[in-house]
Each structure stands twice: as C-alpha cells, then as structure tokens.
Homo-oligomer: A and B are copies of this chain.
Amino acid sequence: MEIERKFVPESLPADLSGYPALHLTQGYLCTDPVVRVRRENDAFCLTYKGSGMMAREEYNLPLTGEAFRHLLPKCDGRVIEKTRYLIPVEGRPDLTAELDVFSGELEGLVILEVEFASVEDAVSFTPPAWYGKDVTDDPSYHNSAISRGADPRKR
C-alpha cells in the first residue's frame, strides 16, 4: 500500500545535478489494474498494481531490454519520460522526496512525491515551502492519467 503526498514545485533546487538521479521511460498497458512497463537507467521492469477493488498489491518483475522495447509500443496514450531526483527531506532522515522532471512532450512539468509509512505521518507532515501546491487529491496528477493524455497544467 502506497501512502504518499504529491506537490507541484514552482522552482527547482539550484543544485539539482548534485542529487542521485534515475532516467525513467514508462508506459501503461492497462490502468485498472495498473500494468506498466518501465526503463529505469539500464534496468527494465513490468509493474502490476492491484486495482482499487482488489488488494493494492504491487509487483515489480524484471524484463529484458528486448521485452521492454517489444511491450512499449503496445502501451496506451503517451510514453512518459522523466528524470527522477532523490532529494533528502530536511529534518526527516527516514524520508526521501522524489522530484520528477518530465522531458519530451511534457517538458517543464515537475511533480514531487514523498512516501510515508503511515497515514498519520502523511497527514501531519509539514512540507517545506519550495514543494509548492499540494496536489495529493488531484487525480490528474496520477502518472496513469498523464499517460492517457492529460496535461495537468492545462486544466
């Protein structure tokens, strides 16, 4: 079960290139349940996330590069490309902010996510000012919605 809060920063940290980064390319074969293919630097995987009606289980299963390239064109809507920076959360060594900077068609879109161990912790968390607007409850910021063609900035 993922418990996370999602934000839209208006500006990026100045020292972005100093943080660990992952280059992600992903598409969705299905969104309910989620069946996603993803390239993460030089690793490839198929992810399944149980739908709302079922237990929200998540499995990450390895793919070869060839299998990834075979499955990607079968995905619906747009392929998402982004760089994910892993940024420590000040004063909370147990948390890491994932800052997704999109490229390609969605160049300029930036979404920040923090995952929590409990709902209580998520609710009581006070975000730094630079995290910007809280869009946790806005479904248009889900990656699966973005892949279906929605650009959440244009609503």
Contacts and interface: CB of A to CB of B under 8 A. Distances in A.
A94 to B, nearest CB: 30
B30 A70 contact: yes
Given A59-B59, A59-B61, A29 B32 contact: no
A77 interface: no
Given A48-B61, A59-B61, A64-B51, A71 B33 contact: no
A106 interface: no
B61 A33 contact: yes
B53 A64 contact: yes
A112 interface: no
A119 to B, nearest CB: 25
Contacts of A71: 29-30, 35
Interface string A52-64: 0110010101111
A133 interface: no
Nearest to A30: B67
Given A33-B67, A35-B67, 4 more contacts: A29-B71, A30-B67, A35-B46, A59-B61
